Structure 1
Amino acid sequence: MTDLADFARLIAGDHGLCVVSTARADGTIHSSLVNAGVLKHPLTGEGVVGMVLRGGTRKMANLRARPRMTAVVRVGWEWAAAEGPVWIAGPDDPVSGIDAERLRLLLRAVFTAAGGTHEDWDEYDRVMAQERRAVVLIEPDRVYANG
Structure 2
Amino acid sequence: MPRQIATNTVVDRDAMLDFVRPRHAMVLITARSDGRPQASPVTGGVDREGRIVISTYPERAKTANARRRPQVSVLVLSDDFGGAWVQVDGDCEVLDLPDSVEPLVEYFRSISGEHPDWDEYRRAMVDQGKSLLRITPTRWGPVATGGFPARLAD
The one of 12, 29, 32 aligned to 1:3 = 12
TM-score, normalised with respect to structure 1: 0.76
**Distance change >3 Å, CA 115–CA 12, structure 1 → 2:** farther
Task: Report the RMSD for the aligned CA atoms in angstroms.
Answer: 2.2
- Find out whether 1:50 has 2:53 as its counterpart: yes
- Show structure 2 runs of 5+ residues with no match: 1-9, 145-154
- Find out whether 1:65 has 2:71 as its counterpart: no
Cα separation, 2, equivalents of 1:10 and 1:2: 9
**Residue of structure 2 in register with 1:114 after alignment:** 111
Query: In the TM superposition, what whole-angstrom CA distance separates every residue of 1:6-49 from its partner, at most 9, and x where no partner exists?
Result: 443343444x11111100011111111111112234xxxxx211
Q: What letter corresponds to residue 124 of structure 2 in structure 1?
A: V
Query: In the TM superposition, what whole-angstrom CA distance separates every residue of 1:57-112 from its partner, at most 9, and x where no partner exists?
Result: 11111111111211111223311111111122212xxxxxxxx4x64222100221
**Distance change >3 Å, CA 4–CA 50, structure 1 → 2:** farther
Cα separation, 2, equivalents of 1:138 and 1:88: 9
Cα separation, 2, equivalents of 1:35 and 1:7: 17
Matches within 5 A, 1:1-147: 1-14=10-23, 16-41=24-49, 47-75=50-78, 76-91=82-97, 100=98, 103-115=100-112, 117-147=114-144
Larger CA Rg, structure 1 vs 2: 2
- Show structure 1 runs of 5+ residues with no match: 42-46, 92-99
Q: What letter corresponds to residue 62 of structure 1 in structure 2?
A: N
Q: What letter corresponds to residue 92 of structure 2 in structure 1?
A: V
**Distance change >3 Å, CA 6–CA 19, structure 1 → 2:** farther
> Aligned pair count?
132
Cα separation, 1, equivalents of 2:43 and 2:122: 17
